[in-house]
Amino acid sequence: MKISVRIVITCVILTLPLVGMIARKQWTLETGTAVLLETQPVDPRSLFRGDYVRLNYIVSDLDLEKLAGDLEFTRYDDVYVVLTEAERYWEARAVYQRRPQLAENQVALKGKVKYVQTSRWNPETKKSEPVKSIHVTYGIENYFVPEGEGRGLERPPAGSKVEMLMAVDRFGQAGIKAVLVNGEERYRETLF
Kindly state the DSSP code that residue 87 receives in the 8-state scheme.
Answer: S
E strand segments, the chain:
33-46, 50-57, 61-63, 68-69, 78-85, 90-96, 106-122, 127-137, 142-144, 162-168, 174-181, 184-188
- Cα gap 115→131, rounded to integer Å: 13
Question: What pLDDT was estimated at residue 184?
Answer: 85
Using the predicted structure, report yes or no on whether residue 44 has a pLDDT greater than 90.
Answer: no
- Cα gap 192→183, rounded to integer Å: 24
Element (H, E) at 17: helix 3-31
Angle at 87 between CA 82 and CA 91, to 5 degrees: 20
Using the predicted structure, report yes or no on whether residue 42 has a pLDDT greater than 70.
Answer: no
- Cα gap 95→80, rounded to integer Å: 6
The predicted-structure confidence for 127-184, as pLDDT tens digits, reads as follows 888 889 999 999 998 887 777 777 667 667 777 788 889 999 999 999 989 888 888 8
Domain residue ranges in the chain: 24-188
Task: Answer for the pair 80, 110: CB distance below 8 angstroms, yes or no.
Answer: yes
**Mean pLDDT, rounded, of the chain:** 85
- Cα gap 180→192, rounded to integer Å: 20
Pick the residue with more confidence: 46 or 33? Answer: 33
What mean pLDDT comes out for the span 25-44?
Answer: 75
- Residue 25: pLDDT band with limits 50, 70, 90: confident
Question: What pLDDT was estimated at residue 73?
Answer: 94
- Cα gap 118→191, rounded to integer Å: 42
- Residue 113: pLDDT band with limits 50, 70, 90: very high
- Residue 30: pLDDT band with limits 50, 70, 90: confident
